[in-house]
Structure 1
Amino acid sequence: MQVSILRAACLAATLGLVACGGNDGKDGSNGLNGLDGTTTTVTQDGAPGLAGNDGQNGTDGKSAPRDLQLDVVGRYASGSYGKSAAEIVQFHKNSNSAMAINGADNRIDVISLAGLPTVAVANAFNDNSLSSTPFNLPTEVTVSGDEVIALGAVDSLSVYGDLLAVAMASANKTDPGAVLFYTLDAAGAGTLLKAVKVGSLPDMVTFTPDGSKVVVANEGEPDTDYVVDPEGSISIIAITAGVPSDTATLIDFDDMIFASALLDPEDYDTDEERRALLQAEDVKFASPAGTTVSQDLEPEYIAISSDSKTAYVTLQENNAIAILNLENNEVKVRGLGLKDWSQYALDYTDKDEVPLFSKVDNVFGLYQPDSIAAYEWNGATFVVTANEGDSRDWNAYSEEVRVKDLTLSTEMDVIYDQHGGKNGLGRLKVTNAVGDADENGEYEALYAFGARSFSIWDQNGTQVFDSGDDFGRITASVLGSNFNSAHTENKGDNRSDDKGAEPEAITTGEINGRTYAFIGLERVGGIFVYDITNPFAATFVAYTNNRDFSTTFEMDDDLADPCDVAEGMDCTQVPNTGDLGPEGIKFISATESPNGNPLIVIGNEVSGSVTVYQIMEL
């Protein structure tokens, strides 16, 4: 299944030259013999102009945006459904294998891409043409100092050459986790090399481009009762001659720097001062009283600059990015600001069951990116983010509330009534942690989770592009009544009151001299493609969604068994529905590709499928 947008350009120039000479003669004087005067008219071409210089030869066309076609050329169905059935994906070149986390069975699926075709599969919704070999993970490991760590869920993996790094949480998620290193053979099978202790809940792991370090985002989530709330942190593991260090360097946010010359170190040497400075630049804090800055900041995902000197780490719940200098381990935090929904169209209710967009005053989006990727333009680093959004929603503390349950200021109450009241704007989920600036119990502004977009930011954390309301408008135009469907059932518009389509996964890739961003939508599904070659002039290219909305199914990914029949669930038609819940994307260049064409590999956590798209220029 494919959806493509075609574009063409036409340039024409027309030049004209008209020359005209001569005028009517004057009447002659009467001669002595009384003859009439004569009239003379002369018409003469002007002198030929000089020949113009030859124009400059045109380029090969690589500077112009091009349309792309995405076709499914292979798919693996794990048979597991629900949360984490197929998440983060990577590629091991020497075995021509995709490697996917299967959190449902706590293993890695090694999926052979050898012999991958160059033509689309017959039925992409239920294709299962690819096979896998399970890569089983241990239940405990011994780290340096003979400490034994009981392991919980697998969260992330990264491949560099034949070295595989796997991030695993502790069995008790608030305890320190571990990164397991394996050497991979020609079949993609792994031999455990060592395990290294890292921070609490290592949510993402990645190698630097030069392979000299592994960087880990330790999210440090609290337990649901907030009895224990570990600090968020970043771990760095040095790699020397292909061998990881026995221990990691742990970087927390207690010693973050504020580089402004307007500040002295004593201006931010207490937790209260650091919090105030960060809040002033739209870093969001939402947690019980007494929570420190380091406890509240929760690293989510990492991108590394091409020179391996800088890591960009999303702090999703905090609406911020941490910028880590990998040469001196200094870290600074940049708030990402707010999206003004009076400038873009938003569908904020699930009650009308149709796509209906409005611009609303005093409603803002917190970007809160999940995935992040980096690329270069004009020698500078830019990062792209998938602005999914996320709330703190635990038993002991929750910031998530519907607008109808807030007390609004007089001005905000008028806006509320103008936009449908309790079944209109009242349905939108927002945070109660900000919006009441004067703390009088009345909210003057509303702050929704996520920005329903992707953004490009420069190396300083300044936004240079945002896709605005593209995702909502384009999916509504393409999918109609299936717009903003959840990934747990085919029911349109049921995510409009939450975070919309929830852009979750993002990566970049270069095809014939142009750089593209590929963005996966977690809820309604599908992949957006943008040409981001020039970050200041990004353009939409294509949207494709390998999902059949005509099937009927229902699952609940909060259940131990998301397909529990006793709970009224029915997953019978999930194998025929296609891909649900894209979570991770890996781009494979044409030079690395098993079939010689650029590919993207998608891990779909709810359908438990791994889908391979071939990318062709039109």
Structure 2
Amino acid sequence: MLKKYNGKHNGKLRLLTVAMSLALSLVITGCEFDADDGAQGVSGSNGADGKSLPRALNVEVVGRFATGTYGKSAAEIVQFHKTSNSAFAINGADNHIEVISLTNLSTTEVGNPVADESLRSNAFTFPLTVTVTDLVGLEKTIALGAVNSIAIKDDLLAIAVEGQVKQNNGAILFYHLSALGEGTFIKAVEVGALPDMVTFTPDGTKALVANEGEPNADYSNDPEGSISVIAVAEAVPANTATTINLTTDITFSDDNLSATDIDTDGKRMAILTTSGVKFAGPVGNTVAKDLEPEYITVSENSKMAYVSLQENNAIGIINLDNLTIEVKALGYKDWGKYQLDFTNKDAVPEFKSIKGLYGMYQPDTIASYTWNGATFIISANEGDARDYAGYSEEVRVKDIIDPAELNKTLSVELQQQYDQSGGKDYLGRLKVTTALGDADNDSEFEQLFAYGARSFSIWDKNINLVFDSGDDFGKISASILGNNFNAAHTENKGDNRSDDKGGEPEAIDIGTINGRTYAFIAQERAGDLFVYDITNPFNTAFVTHYNNRDFTIDYKMDDGLADPCDINAGMNCSQVNMAGDLGPESIKFISAINSPTNKPLLIIGNEVSGTVTVYQVTEQ
């Protein structure tokens, strides 16, 4: 079944063809063990009587909530509370949580998915100052800033809030949730700088916090990244958190290393750098300052956790028994073996391979699941650069060779491809890092390293690459959206992000439907939702695509402005409520057994459109 896109038919895009999914999986998807050479992985099946084949899924919007606030992160991280049948969504614009009742959610598709506003919310607020207990048992007050993350375990809600000064310690606020989704405050627990993500272990005995520790703009204050572990007993959190620091709590599994090989920060950074971990910062940079924990997922048995270290192109393996962390580099995607569109100047999808160009995976959201008793981690490979007033690693390829900019050279092979591509308006447009590429420091870039891998990946528990979706996302999106692929989310301008990180795979979650395990991946920019059957991680298959956006609507906003819709700055948001979902930031899968409709659901928070959209996902 193939439904064609019609811009005036709700902006809805679907691809529900099993034959195409198999073809795409076999032709343009790479299964890899070695991050550098993309060697073919092992294939296999996991089922009987035809159940190992991917099944066609029907994805449809059954409800949608709109804040009416655009470009201000009014709908970010989403969670689900089963007792009250409510979706919880962070409203960063108003710094509270939207509690959206799904009790009377439809089981049939809404009439106009891109403009539907059938769901309503109540505001869940929290204080701007809290009292916490320090490590010696004394109480102190913390001034709070923005809410960044929420997690729900049964009726226990955890809210991660950064400090009023972003580089100061933040706090996790715990609440008991009622059958109506209302909260009774339990306590606040102090954690590290910029708690960006909080999650519970599956057994509910711990809350884990990724403290990102971002610097301020001029890099005069760069706090250390860390992991906070808060014990939970009978739904009551401990008064204080245990910190996994990113200095002495880092472990190395290489038996060739002795204690004296890793007894200083400089030695640890050198070893990690040699292993492929990317460090990029000004003078005075350290391992703990540079590592910025982004997102945590926990193994099914609650023994191990995994944290994305996005800017470092790494994942940390956390041992929850001894509270140590091992940092594993992810390697690089070889764009000489895949194809990408690297320019926004031609305004059309055109894919090419470039030898010597590599993509850093740099995942944002990660999730995990079990196959044959082993844990596997899936990652949305968004990419991210350090780009601050006090230090920036970001540069366009054309500026590397510009005498007025870096005034360096490209290798003969790279220069030939640069010229053949069309020069400064083509390969020259691509943004790359200055932290890698000139390995011998001779002012010649032998390689180029771009941000993100424009894909999702599956890694084993030791962070060896099992599968990568290759160039699927770009080609699938271009096939369906045409020139609108890689569009910006602040206006309907196609091919706008090709020179940066492409569609930017941002959000990911895993769910099981009738015995099959699926990965749901959303791209931040154009808003694509991709679904893959990952039941067997060594035999994955593309299943379907959906995009809840109308590209015919004329709108323009700038999320860098205090008022993203400021008409005095040339912005136009008069019709943006008809444009659909913009900037998907997070996904939460709800199984049929936990769903208020007894059917599997996806809840997606869209930060630019300020909308929360509920999808029903069923087998055809």
Tell me if both proteins adopt one fold, taking TM over 0.5 as the criterion. Answer: yes
Pair 1:223-2:216 in alignment: yes
Structure 1 residue identity aligned to 2:80: F
Aligned partner (choices 105, 126, 129) of residue 116 of structure 1: 105
Gapped runs of 5+ residues in structure 1? 10-57
TM-score, with structure 1 as normaliser: 0.91
Q: Aligned runs of 1:211-290 on 2, under 5 Å?
A: 211-255=204-248, 256-290=250-284
Residue by residue over 1:462-491, the C-alpha shift from the partner in whole angstroms, topping out at 9 and shown as x without a partner, is 000000000000000000010110000000
For the Cα contact (< 8 Å) 2:18–2:543, is it kept in 1?
A: no
Residue by residue over 1:314-348, the C-alpha shift from the partner in whole angstroms, topping out at 9 and shown as x without a partner, is 00000000100001111100000000000000100
For the Cα contact (< 8 Å) 1:321–1:333, is it kept in 2?
A: yes
For the Cα contact (< 8 Å) 2:75–2:605, is it kept in 1?
A: yes
Within 2, Cα distance between the matches of 1:232 and 1:579? Answer: 32
SS at match of 2:390: coil
SS at match of 2:603: strand
- Greater CA drift, 569-578 or 380-389: 569-578
Within 2, Cα distance between the matches of 1:272 and 1:359? Answer: 37
For the Cα contact (< 8 Å) 1:4–1:67, is it kept in 2?
A: no
C-alpha displacement at 1:253, in angstroms? Answer: 1.1
Pair 1:446-2:439 in alignment: no
For the Cα contact (< 8 Å) 2:85–2:103, is it kept in 1?
A: yes
Residue by residue over 1:354-406, the C-alpha shift from the partner in whole angstroms, topping out at 9 and shown as x without a partner, is 00000001100000000000000000000000000000011111111000000
Q: Aligned runs of 1:89-108 on 2, under 5 Å?
A: 89-108=78-97
For the Cα contact (< 8 Å) 1:2–1:70, is it kept in 2?
A: no
Gapped runs of 5+ residues in structure 2? 1-11, 21-46, 401-407
Within 2, Cα distance between the matches of 1:338 and 1:241? Answer: 44
**Pair member with larger Rg:** 1
C-alpha displacement at 1:229, in angstroms? Answer: 0.5
Alignment partner, residue 168 of structure 2: 175
Aligned partner (choices 119, 141, 152) of residue 145 of structure 2: 152
C-alpha displacement at 1:59, in angstroms? Answer: 4.7
SS at match of 1:545: strand
Aligned partner (choices 131, 134, 140) of residue 120 of structure 2: 131
Within 1, Cα distance between the matches of 2:555 and 2:262? Answer: 53
For the Cα contact (< 8 Å) 1:4–1:68, is it kept in 2?
A: no
For the Cα contact (< 8 Å) 2:513–2:618, is it kept in 1?
A: no
Structure 2 residue identity aligned to 1:515: T
C-alpha displacement at 1:409, in angstroms? Answer: 2.9
Alignment partner, residue 193 of structure 1: 186
Within 1, Cα distance between the matches of 2:189 and 2:515? Answer: 39
SS at match of 1:587: strand
Q: Aligned runs of 1:341-356 on 2, under 5 Å?
A: 341-356=335-350
Within 1, Cα distance between the matches of 2:436 and 2:52? Answer: 44
C-alpha displacement at 1:8, in angstroms? Answer: 6.0
Pair 1:4-2:4 in alignment: no
Aligned partner (choices 316, 323, 347) of residue 322 of structure 1: 316
SS at match of 2:221: coil
Residue by residue over 1:536-576, the C-alpha shift from the partner in whole angstroms, topping out at 9 and shown as x without a partner, is 11110001000000001111111122112222111111100
For the Cα contact (< 8 Å) 1:300–1:315, is it kept in 2?
A: yes
Alignment partner, residue 500 of structure 1: 502
C-alpha displacement at 1:64, in angstroms? Answer: 2.3
Comparing both chains, which one has the higher relative contact order based on Cα–Cα distances under 8 Å and sequence gaps of 6 or more? 2
Within 2, Cα distance between the matches of 1:416 and 1:282? Answer: 26
C-alpha displacement at 1:212, in angstroms? Answer: 0.3
Alignment partner, residue 207 of structure 1: 200
Within 1, Cα distance between the matches of 2:320 and 2:72? Answer: 33
For the Cα contact (< 8 Å) 1:78–1:608, is it kept in 2?
A: yes
SS at match of 1:536: coil
Within 2, Cα distance between the matches of 1:179 and 1:386? Answer: 25
C-alpha displacement at 1:61, in angstroms? Answer: 4.2
SS at match of 1:537: coil
C-alpha displacement at 1:104, in angstroms? Answer: 0.7
For the Cα contact (< 8 Å) 1:370–1:504, is it kept in 2?
A: yes
SS at match of 2:377: strand
SS at match of 1:125: coil
Alignment partner, residue 486 of structure 1: 488
Alignment partner, residue 43 of structure 1: none
Aligned partner (choices 52, 57, 65) of residue 68 of structure 1: 57
Alignment partner, residue 359 of structure 1: 353
C-alpha displacement at 1:410, in angstroms? Answer: 3.7
Within 2, Cα distance between the matches of 1:581 and 1:572? Answer: 18
For the Cα contact (< 8 Å) 2:411–2:445, is it kept in 1?
A: no
Aligned partner (choices 610, 615, 618) of residue 617 of structure 2: 615
Within 2, Cα distance between the matches of 1:155 and 1:410? Answer: 43
Alignment partner, residue 457 of structure 2: 455
Structure 1 residue identity aligned to 2:532: Y
Structure 2 residue identity aligned to 1:595: T
Structure 1 residue identity aligned to 2:409: L
Q: Percent identity?
A: 61
Within 2, Cα distance between the matches of 1:592 and 1:509? Answer: 12
Pair 1:424-2:426 in alignment: yes
Within 2, Cα distance between the matches of 1:360 and 1:344? Answer: 8
Runs of 4+ off more than 4 Å? 58-61
Alignment partner, residue 405 of structure 2: none
C-alpha displacement at 1:273, in angstroms? Answer: 1.3
SS at match of 1:476: helix
C-alpha displacement at 1:456, in angstroms? Answer: 0.1
Alignment partner, residue 373 of structure 1: 367
For the Cα contact (< 8 Å) 1:2–1:69, is it kept in 2?
A: no
Within 1, Cα distance between the matches of 2:531 and 2:194? Answer: 31
Residue by residue over 1:489-512, the C-alpha shift from the partner in whole angstroms, topping out at 9 and shown as x without a partner, is 000011000000000000000111
Within 1, Cα distance between the matches of 2:343 and 2:13? Answer: 29
* Count of paired positions: 570
Within 1, Cα distance between the matches of 2:411 and 2:229? Answer: 51
Structure 1 pair 181/536, CA: closer, same or farther in 2 (3 Å)?
same
Within 2, Cα distance between the matches of 1:454 and 1:157? Answer: 24
For the Cα contact (< 8 Å) 1:4–1:69, is it kept in 2?
A: no
Structure 1 pair 8/490, CA: closer, same or farther in 2 (3 Å)?
closer
Structure 1 residue identity aligned to 2:212: E
Quote the RMSD (CA, aligned, Å): 1.1
Pair 1:409-2:410 in alignment: yes
TM-score, with structure 2 as normaliser: 0.91
C-alpha displacement at 1:7, in angstroms? Answer: 2.4
C-alpha displacement at 1:60, in angstroms? Answer: 5.5
For the Cα contact (< 8 Å) 2:365–2:508, is it kept in 1?
A: yes
Structure 2 residue identity aligned to 1:67: A
Alignment partner, residue 585 of structure 2: 583
Structure 1 pair 59/323, CA: closer, same or farther in 2 (3 Å)?
closer
Alignment partner, residue 6 of structure 2: none
Within 1, Cα distance between the matches of 2:100 and 2:438? Answer: 51
Within 2, Cα distance between the matches of 1:437 and 1:409? Answer: 12
Within 2, Cα distance between the matches of 1:89 and 1:544? Answer: 19
Q: Aligned runs of 1:294-313 on 2, under 5 Å?
A: 294-313=288-307
Within 1, Cα distance between the matches of 2:48 and 2:167? Answer: 57
- Greater CA drift, 170-179 or 566-575: 566-575
